[in-house]
Amino acid sequence: MSAASQDTAVSTGRITRTFIYLLLILFALFYLLPLYVMGINSVKPLAEITGGNMMALPEVWTLEPWRSAWSTAQIGVEPTGLRPYFLNSILMVVPAVAISTIVGALNGYVLTKWRFRGDTWVFGLMLFSCFIPFQIVLIPMAVVLGKLGLAGSVSGLVLVHVVYGIGFTTLYFRNYYASFPTELVRAAMIDGAGFFRIFWRILLPVSGPIAVVSVIWQFTNIWNDFLFGVSFGGTSQPMTVALNNLVQSSTGVKEYNVHFAGAILAALPTLIVYIVAGRYFVRGLMAGSVKG
């Protein structure tokens, strides 16, 4: 190939990459437009929203909508701010994510390295649970929570999300451990290592990538859940239910700036999780996709 042809190919490649990057930037800006509208209008006085352009920058910057969304005065006996419900979400999400991830890791370990008769059927049934709609389990779960005395409590919500999430975490860890050399496990058995020692010393140290996937998936699903929270939360409702109550509590003129601020506050934890660990999500999913 001549030097002129090479220069032409390089120039064409640069133009193509530039066009692709510009197109991706355009799509990213379009995708982030709702977040921009929410952020800008959450620091505006209400008069600027109802009587102006929602896309324009604020003429007067104020954090009062954020303060109102976080801690609003009480109406009757029910607080309308998000602050009392933030702790409920934390107390629900942290143990539910931890328990479902640990149980899923143990299930994946058993279903790949401690095979038994009918293990394929067990995994199939657990996999089937991933496709059961939320609405189907509402009545059975309400009966179970009532019999256990956990209805209307954070502990009840933890149990609900652990049960519903085990199918997903088992799927992740089972596929991940399937690519792990079984010979190492058998060698540890010959050396006298038991069930939990093998899991703790051999499998768990290499489970970081898939554990991140499980944590992100479970955290996002549990934090953003509304149906289970409104159905079983009672007086211990999570933040998503509180956000809905905040919007519905507005009478007369809708306080859009407060609603925008509340929506951002409710979304911040999942956003932070994805910013911190999002790069490991796809990496963890792909880690167990090829058996070597």
Give a yes or no: residue 95 inside a domain: yes
Residue 23 — pLDDT band, cuts 50, 70, 90?
very high
Residues 185 and 128 in one domain: yes
Among the three residues 49, 70, 91, which one is the final residue of a domain in this structure? 70
Query: What does the alpha-carbon distance between residue 280 and residue 209 come to, in Å, rounded to a whole number?
Result: 7
Q: 113 near 177, Cβ under 8 Å?
A: yes
The answer on 126 and 212 residing in a single domain is yes
Q: Write out pLDDT tens, residues 55-65.
A: 888 888 898 88
157 and 247 together in one domain: yes
Q: Is residue 165 part of a domain?
A: yes
Please give the pLDDT value at position 72.
61
Residues 100 and 25 reside in one and the same domain: no
Domain count, the chain: 2
Q: Average of pLDDT values for 230-256?
A: 81
91 plus 62 within the same structural domain: no
Helix, strand, coil distribution of the chain in percent, nearest 5: 75, 0, 25
Residues 160 and 280 in one domain: yes
Asked whether residue 64 falls in the same domain as residue 135, the answer is: no
Q: Is residue 11 assigned to a domain?
A: yes
Same domain (yes/no): 166, 90? yes
- Do 91 and 64 reside in the same domain of the chain? no
Q: Cα-flanking dihedrals φ and ψ of residue 232, to 5°?
A: -115, -5
User: Is residue 76 a part of any domain in this protein?
Assistant: no
Instruction: Give the pLDDT band (50/70/90) at residue 6.
Output: low
pLDDT at 119: 84
Domain that holds residue 42: 3-70
Query: Could you report the per-residue pLDDT of 86-120, keeping only the tens digit for each?
Result: 989 999 999 999 999 999 999 999 998 888 888 88
> Do 280 and 231 have their domain in common?
yes
Let me know whether 89 and 220 are in one domain. yes
Question: Are 128 and 230 part of one and the same domain?
Answer: yes
Closest residue by Cα to residue 107 from 61, 168, 161: 168
In this structure, is residue 55 part of a structural domain? yes
User: For residue 266, is pLDDT > 60?
Assistant: yes
- Evaluate whether residue 78 is within a structural domain: no
Most confident of 148-157, 239-248, 273-282: 148-157
Q: Is residue 75 part of a domain?
A: no
Neighbours of 91 (CB within 10 A): 16
